[in-house]
Amino acid sequence: MRIKRTAIVLALAGFLFGQDAAPPAQKKGGGRGPRAKPPGVSTPGVKREMSTITPAAVYSIPGTPDWQVTTAEAQWVSNGPKNTLHRMDPKTNESLAIEVGKRPCSGLAAGFGSVWVPLCGDRPNVENGAKPGLARVDTKTNRLVATIPVGVANSEGGIAASLDAVWLTTDIKGVLSRIDPATNKVAAEIEVAPGSVACVFADDAIWVSSPEKSVVTRVDAKTNKVTDTIPVGPKPRFITAGAGSVWTLNQGDGTVSRVDTKSRKLVTNVEAGIPGGGGEIAFGDGAVWATIPQIPITRIDPATNTVVKQWEGAGGDSIRVAFGSVWLSNLREQNVWRIDLKGM
C-alpha cells in the first residue's frame, strides 16, 4: 500500500519514502504523480459517488495514514513519515499516536495482546538489504515493548498472526518467517514462491501472495511445510480471508481471485475493474471489500462472486470492517473515515 513514486522522484528523494521492487505501475497509490483512472465495473446500478457518503467520524492523521488492523477495543493505522502507530477509539472518536520506529510499512497484525508493525527504516529500498525490524506494541499500555531484528521482504506487503505465531515475509527471494511471540524470535524460515509479499491465516494455514509469480502459496501452520502453490490472477499482492476462501487483489488486471481453502483451488477471478498500484482488500460483514485510489470502496458479494456496489471519487488506500463500520484510510487526504455500515 505505501507511499510510491516514479523512478525519477525516487532517485532524487527516495530516502524520504518507501519503495518496493515493483516497476512504477505497481507502486502504492500514495504518490503525488498522475495515474490513469481505473475503469471500475460497468454493471448498471452498481457505481456510486464518494460524495454521497457521510462518515460517522473523521480521524485526522497528518502524514500518510496507511495500513490498518482491528483489536477488541480499537482500530489501528500506521503512519510511515511520522514513525507512528495510531490507536483510534470507536467510542470516543479520539486517536492516540505511538512512536514505533522508522517508517512502519508492509501491513499490521494483531495477536497475543499486541499490534505487530513491520518497519522499513531509513533506506528506501528494503529489498536491497535493510533489516530494521518488527515492532511490537502492547495494546493495554499502548507502548512499544519490543523490536525484533527481522527483515521486511517488501514495503508493500503484509503480515499475519495465527493461533501461536506471527508470520512475515522477510526476503523478497521467497522467505516466510515464523516468529514466536513468547520469545520474540524467529522460530522457522520457510521457502515460498519468489517475490512473495503478503500473507493471511485461514483454516490452519498461512496463505502467501506472490505478485512476481502470480500464485498463492499454502503453508501448513503446524508443520511449516508448503503444501500447495495455486495460480491466481496476474500480480496478486494484497490478500484476505473469509467465506471459506482466501481472496487476492490482483494489481495486474484489477480482478479479485477467490481460492477455496478446502479444495485449495481457484474458484473464480471476480471482475472488479481496479488494476494498478496501491490499495488493499479485507473481509467483513459477510462481504469482500477492496480499495484503490479513485475507486475507494468496492464491495463483492461472496454468494454471487460479483461486485454489488462500487464508490468512485477521492480517498482510499486501506480498508477494514469493524465495530459496525467501514474504516477507510484516505492516504492523500491524511485522515481515516469511519462509515456506518447501515448507511451503505
pLDDT score recorded for residue 132 = 74
Ordered DSSP codes for 142-207: TEEEEEE----S-SS--EEE-SS-EEEEEETTTEEEEEETTTTEEEEEEE--TT--EEEEETTEEE
**CA nearest 302: which of 254, 334, 261, 341?**
261
Q: Which domains does the chain have, with CATH numbers?
A: 52-343 (2.130.10.10)
How far apart are alpha carbons 25 and 29 in whole angstroms? 10
Q: In this predicted structure, what is the pLDDT of residue 33?
A: 53
Which H or E run includes 237?
strand 236-242
pLDDT score of 3 more than 80: no
pLDDT (0 to 100) of residue 36: 86
**Tens digits of residue pLDDT in 38-49:** 999 999 999 999
Write out the three cell numbers for 77.
493505522
- pLDDT over threshold 70, residue 22: no
Q: What is the mean pLDDT of the chain?
A: 90
For residue 31, pLDDT beyond 50: no
Report how far Cα 36 is from the mean position of its chain's Cα atoms.
22
Question: What integer pLDDT is reported at residue 123 of this predicted model?
Answer: 52
Burial bucket for residue 271 (CB in 10 Å: 0-12, 13-18, 19+) = middle
**Percent of the chain topping pLDDT 70:** 87
17 pLDDT above the threshold of 50 = no
List, for residues 90-148, the tens digit of each pLDDT value.
999 999 999 999 999 999 999 999 999 999 986 544 444 445 799 999 999 999 999 99
- Conformation bin of residue 90: beta by default, left when phi > 0, alpha when psi is -120 to 50: alpha
pLDDT (tens digit, 9 = 90+) per residue, 130-142?
457 999 999 999 9
pLDDT per position as a tens digit, 270-327? 999 999 999 999 999 999 999 999 999 999 999 999 999 999 999 999 999 999 999 9
Global confidence as pTM = 0.89
User: What is the spatial distance between Cα 331 and Cα 124, in angstroms, rounded to a whole number?
Assistant: 19
